[in-house]
Amino acid sequence: MSDTTDLNNEQEGGEPTTRAGFVALVGQPNVGKSTLMNAVLGIKLAITSSKPQTTRTRILGVHTVSGKGQLCFVDTPGIHRSKRRLNQAMTKTALQSLQEVDIVCHLVDAAAIVAQLRRDASAYLPEDEEYVLEQLATVEVPRILVINKIDLLADKLQILPLIEKLTARGTYDEIVPLSAAKGSNIDRFVDVLLASVPAADPLFPEDMITDRAERFLAAEMIREQIMLLTRKEVPYSVAVEIERFVEVPKKDLLEISAVIHVERETQKGILIGEGGKRLKEIGTKARRQMEDFFGRRVFLETFVHVEPDWTENPRHLHRFGYE
């Protein structure tokens, strides 16, 4: 008896009728990469905040379009210059993804660049964007230019000179203006990607969203609340480690114990807050987010530990998954 497992996805000659591939979302910090992936997936998988460098490592998000194909997004940390070892590791992670995907989507913050060009009365792109373009110069796979945050432009025609400057510095197969936050032009973005990835059967099961463990997602939800509720150096000096993640089926409950690592005693004090108020708020909001995502009750306990200068220590960076 012949194997008919994949007949629905193949033409008579054996060629798949669907398309599938890996898509890297790259660009400066805070240009909306995670927001865009979340918008396509229709679920908040990657954490987001208004602070740069919220994303620290690669996150896979799988979007399956029935009968058409599968897009495997690789959300990456922002590409930027830094002397800090943690930040260097983040940029290295982003650049490595360029060699492992079928398409590279270069995201730019249209509103920020247009405002800076006007403020500086400059004919040149900002140095930080030039640095990203330099890193993309050797990319050999198709490149898509994604002009994000167009909703923040009073005059949408302002993107035309921006596109001209960017395309003068690099070659793009397609250009897609959109607003990830508002969800505008997301469907066209998906269509462009599906037309660009190779003909292939799905790379992952259709009901799969990510390959990340639940422990990782829980740690990220805690770190997101820290990003949102603290300021200055504290959000950038925090690592979250899940020490206990236990399912209690009889109670439909997850029991989670997390350690929040900081670099200095002063940061620990700020994170805990007067009478423990800030840490309690972080825990409460993270717990609610976990309950929504995991679909069950969560018991969450958090502890704060000082790990001096962990952001510059290779052993700790490896331990926390950044190197």
Residue 75 has pLDDT above 70, yes or no: yes
Would you tell me how many other CB atoms lie within 10 Å of the CB of residue 49? 18
Provide φ and ψ at 110, rounded to 5°: -60, -45
* Cα(196)–Cα(143) distance, integer angstroms: 10
Residue 91 has pLDDT above 60, yes or no: yes
First to last CA, the chain: 49
In the chain, where the domains are located: 7-196, 214-319
Provide φ and ψ at 118, rounded to 5°: -70, -40
The domain at 7-196 falls in which architecture?
A: 3-Layer(aba) Sandwich (3.40)
Residue 13 has pLDDT above 90, yes or no: no
| pLDDT tens per residue across span 217-229 | 999 999 999 999 9
Per-residue burial over 134-151, b if 16 or more Cβ lie within 10 Å, else e, is eebeebebbbbbbbbbbe
Identity of the amino acid at 157: L
CA-atom Rg of the chain in angstroms: 21
Going across the sheet that includes 239-248, the strands are 239-248, 253-262, 297-306
| pLDDT tens per residue across span 198-257 | 999 999 999 999 999 999 999 999 999 999 999 999 999 999 999 999 999 999 999 999
Identity of the amino acid at 109: D
Token pair of 119 as six digits? 């403020």
Round the average pLDDT of the chain to a whole number and report it: 94
Q: How confident is the model at residue 9 (pLDDT cuts 50, 70, 90)?
A: low
Residue 194 has pLDDT above 80, yes or no: yes
* Cα(258)–Cα(84) distance, integer angstroms: 25
* Cα(194)–Cα(178) distance, integer angstroms: 17
Percent of the chain with pLDDT over 90: 90
Q: How confident is the model at residue 286 (pLDDT cuts 50, 70, 90)?
A: very high
Q: Which residue has the higher pLDDT, 1 or 182?
A: 182
Contacts 24+ apart (CB under 8 A), 82-89: 84/311, 84/312, 85/311, 85/312, 85/313, 85/314, 85/317, 86/56, 86/236, 86/311, 86/312, 86/317, 86/322, 87/53, 89/317, 89/322, 89/323
DSSP-assigned letter for residue 140: -
| pLDDT tens per residue across span 119-156 | 887 778 999 999 999 999 999 999 999 999 999 999 99
* Cα(25)–Cα(36) distance, integer angstroms: 9
Q: How confident is the model at residue 5 (pLDDT cuts 50, 70, 90)?
A: very low
- pLDDT value at residue 7: 38
Collapsing DSSP states into helix, strand and coil, what is residue 124?
coil
Which one, of 148, 139, 132, 198, lies nearest residue 40 by Cα?
148
- pLDDT value at residue 11: 53
- Crossing angle, helix 159-169 and helix 127-136, to 10 degrees? 40
Spatial neighbors of 161 by CB under 8 A, at least 6 apart, are: none
Percent of the chain with pLDDT over 70: 96
Does the 214-319 domain belong in CATH 3.40.50.80? no
Q: How confident is the model at residue 14 (pLDDT cuts 50, 70, 90)?
A: low
Token pair of 300 as six digits? 């969450």
* Cα(46)–Cα(286) distance, integer angstroms: 14
| pLDDT tens per residue across span 62-72 | 999 999 999 99
Cα angle, residue 125 at apex, residues 122 and 131 outer, rounded to 5°: 140
| pLDDT tens per residue across span 40-57 | 999 999 999 999 999 999
- pLDDT value at residue 10: 55
**CA torsion, ordered 87, 88, 92, 95, to nearest 10 deg:** 80
- pLDDT value at residue 1: 36
Strands 69-75 and 239-248, bridge-based pairing: unpaired
Type and span of the H or E element at 145: strand 143-148
